[in-house]
Amino acid sequence: MRWSLDELYTSFDSKEYENDLKELDQLIAKFNKWANNTLTTSENPVEKIEKYINFNQGLSSLFSKLASFANLSASVDARNEIALQSLNKLDVKATAMTKPEVQFQNFIKEIDDLDSIIDESDLLKEHEFYLLNIKEKTKYLLSEKEEILISKMSTTGSTAWSNLQDKVSSTLMVDISLDGEDKQLPLPVVRNFAYSSDSGIRKTAYEAELESYKKIEKSSAASLNGIKGEVLTITELRGFESPLEETLVKSRTDKKTLDSMFTAMEEFLPAFHKYFRTKAKLLGYENCLPFYELFAPIGEVDMSFSYEEAINYIVNNFRSFSDKLADFVQNAYENNWLDVEPRDGKRGGAFCANLHPIGESRVLANFDGSFSSMITLAHELGHAYHGLNLRQESILNSRYPMPIAETASIFCETIVVNAALKEATDKERLSILESSISDAGQVIVDIYSRYLFETELFNRRKSHPLSVDELKSIMMDAQLKAYGHGLDKDILHPYMWINKSHYYSAGLNFYNFPYAFGLLFSKGLYAEYLNKGEGFIEEYDDLLNATGKNNIKDVALRMDVDVHNPEFFRNSLKLIEKDIEEFIELAGV
């Protein structure tokens, strides 16, 4: 139940680790020296770009191997001081790679005929997207002096505001009365009561949570105004049309894709509203759902698994998709790629790390034998399968943007959930469907409200800092538009802008639509799979393989999927709508 990291290094004081660390230092020094000496003139561009790619491949690989070992070691043992120290040291080394990278960006910026230069070399052709992407981004690069000034000023600007918000929100204690006893509890504990099976606790927790925000609302508003104001100033300086455009460029997504996705999402909101109203009835409300009942559990699934049974269940169901996927998971299990045992000092939740330098992956989970923790394993193993399909690529072609990061994981999750639905009792079906629709509701309906809120926030921030009342009112307007008559209009969550930390990161504007895209893209591919059957599988692997070296539109085109057409997103949403219809029928209210 524990993973092996020996394939990376046997320990921090092994010869291999020490040698690699030394080699990293030498390589960074060489890289800096080379950049200083050669990137100053524009002669021999092919040779210089080839050299840069070689340096970068070597450095990325070495760095990722060292950092992964430290990261993974720390993730299962928070008290591993050597791992934490190594991580800090590696962070410092990473900053020494920034200067040659910036020098290279400026070098590329000055090349007018990059396309024909790329044509002259196979190595350059292999990295065409990578190079064109660097060139594209240089459009928004300011002068060296301005870049330095911005980065220095942001440490006392947006970063300082973020730190303040982090401090006040993470230390916020909520006054709550439970079982007649007055208590002070941390915010995350109180928010977790939303999943309680006791309706009274859910309501009390929600009211206590909202009340607690009053203690920090003014400083949160000031932080938010400071951060969003800075973002507006800098994106305008860089020549972006809006902060949204900046996020789209970073996500390799275009506006037309976004528009077609939102067109489809808006059409399907009424289906979700029906779901919320049905859930309300199941919980004994007459019409619509109060906000604090959104996560109320409905029924339960009796299925439980030992670790081995969970893996067998996953492998058997993956086999209905392809032997390659099933054998891959079996191999991961047998070779100890997974660490699933919950224990003291280990990180909560789950994640997958794809280790390109050794062509393997590692999955961390906290397996408790429940149905949902089996599903989590299937999800993370999907990420690992994505890594498998990128193994043969250059490490510089193995990084994919956020909107398609969840493609393989949600796909694998869907395979297993659908298999489970087939053998579940009616009571269990109701519960499985409900939790899957509830998750989708967060990603489609709630994300839509956050997108509306952030759009309005930026619009107004252009002319003035927003007051607490204004922030509350635009949040409630956004929720009303998204949740419609699914939610009780008098019991919303006006303080959601304090709760979601993404709003307080200057580098993560509109960190909402990528979630919706991820879910719908993956579901849409699943719809294609249901249509095409066998023929789908090879194309799917090819698509995963292309995720690190294409724009999202071109990745999708590999499967003849046109993300500029809302029809693709409609097909994904129809799958969720079908689940909603079945849920309503099973609910029988």
Alpha-carbon span 514 to 401, nearest angstrom? 9
Kindly state the smallest distance separating residue 535's Cβ from Zn ion, in Å: 27
Give strand pairing partners of 364.
Answer: 339, 351
* Sites for Zn ion among residues 307-346 (CB under 5 A): none
In the bound state, the residue with its beta carbon closest to Zn ion is 409
Residues 84 to 113 in contact with Zn ion, rule: CB under 5 A? none
The residue (of 64 and 409) whose beta carbon lies closer to Zn ion is 409
What's the 3-state SS for 41-91?
Answer: CCCCHHHHHHHHHHHHHHHHHHHHHHHHHHHHHHHHCCCCHHHHHHHHHHH
Q: Give me the phi and psi of 262, to 5 degrees please.
A: -70, -35
Taking the complex as a whole, how short is the minimal distance between the CB of residue 413 and Zn ion, in angstroms?
Answer: 9
CB of 310 to Zn ion, least distance (A): 17
> Shortest distance, CB of residue 515 to Zn ion, whole angstroms?
10
C-beta contacts of 546-551 below 8 A and 24+ residues apart: 547/386, 547/390, 547/400, 547/404, 547/407, 548/390, 548/393, 548/397, 548/398, 548/399, 548/400, 549/127, 549/128, 549/129, 549/130, 549/393, 549/397, 550/129, 550/252, 551/252, 551/253, 551/254
Q: Which helix (H) or strand (E) holds 176?
A: strand 173-178
Q: Quick one: which segment of 92-100, 135-143, 182-190, 409-417 binds Zn ion (CB under 5 A)?
A: 409-417
Query: Of 76-84, 298-306, 406-414, 529-537, which part binds Zn ion (CB under 5 A)?
Result: 406-414
**Nearest to Zn ion of 264, 402 (CB atom):** 402
Q: How far is the CB of 385 from Zn ion (least distance, A)?
A: 12
CB nearer Zn ion, residue 378 or residue 496: 378
Looking at residue 286, what DSSP letter applies? S
**Closer Cβ to Zn ion, 384 or 466, answer by number:** 384
Q: Smallest distance from the beta carbon of 83 to Zn ion, in angstroms?
A: 23
Cβ closest to Zn ion, residue 124 vs residue 350 = 350
Residue 409 or 431 with smaller CB distance to Zn ion: 409
| Smallest distance, Zn ion to C-beta of residue 462, A | 35
Q: Which stretch binds Zn ion (CB under 5 A): 6-14, 167-175, 405-413, 438-446?
A: 405-413
Name which of 103 and 373 has its Cβ closer to Zn ion: 373
- Which phi-psi region, left, alpha or beta, contains residue 433 (left: φ > 0; alpha: ψ -120 to 50)? alpha
- Measured from the CB atom, the residue of 86 and 414 that comes closer to Zn ion is 414
Hey, what are 51's tokens?
């050299």
Q: Which of 510, 526, 557 is nearest to 262 (CA)?
A: 510
Shortest gap between Cβ of 72 and Zn ion (angstroms)? 17
In whole angstroms, the minimum distance from the beta carbon of 390 to Zn ion comes to 15
Residue 212 lies near Zn ion (rule: CB under 5 A): no
Cβ partners under 8 Å of residue 587, min gap 6? 278, 281, 282, 430
**Distance (Å, whole) CA 314 – CA 330:** 9
Tokens of 253: 């997504």
Beta bridge partners of 338: 363
Question: Can residue 220 be called a binding residue for Zn ion (CB under 5 A)?
Answer: no
Among 95, 102, 96, which Cα is nearest to 137's?
102
Longest dimension (CA), the chain: 78
Query: Judged by CB under 5 A, how many residues of this single chain contact Zn ion?
Result: 1
The residues with which 353 forms a beta bridge, in sequence order, are 362
Stretch that binds Zn ion, among 88-96, 150-158, 328-336, 401-409 (CB under 5 A): 401-409
Q: Quick check: 539 and 586 in contact, CB under 8 A?
A: no
Residue closer to Zn ion (CB basis): 409 or 512: 409
Quick one: angle between helices 144-156 and 158-170, nearest 10? 20
Q: Closer to Zn ion at the Cβ: 56 or 409?
A: 409
Tell me which stretch binds Zn ion (CB under 5 A): 234-242, 321-329, 403-411, 577-585. Answer: 403-411
Q: How far, in Å, CA of 76 to CA of 85, rounded?
A: 15
Shortest reach from residue 406's CB to Zn ion, in Å? 5
- Interacting residues of 467 by C-beta distance below 8 A, sequence separation 6+: 221
Closer residue to Zn ion, CB minimum distance, 103 or 409? 409
How near is the Cβ of 301 to Zn ion at its closest, in Å? Answer: 21
Nearer to Zn ion, 411 or 583 (CB): 411
State the minimum distance, in angstroms, from the CB of residue 522 to Zn ion: 10
Please answer whether residues 205 and 193 qualify as being in contact, where contact means their C-beta atoms are separated by less than 8 angstroms: yes
- Looking at the Cβ atoms of 223 and 409, the one nearer to Zn ion is 409
Does residue 409 belong to the site contacting Zn ion (CB under 5 A)?
Answer: yes
Closest by CA to 30, choosing from 123, 87, 96, is: 96
**Region label for 288, one of left (φ > 0), alpha (ψ between -120 and 50) or beta (otherwise):** beta
Footprint on this chain of Zn ion (rule: CB under 5 A): 409
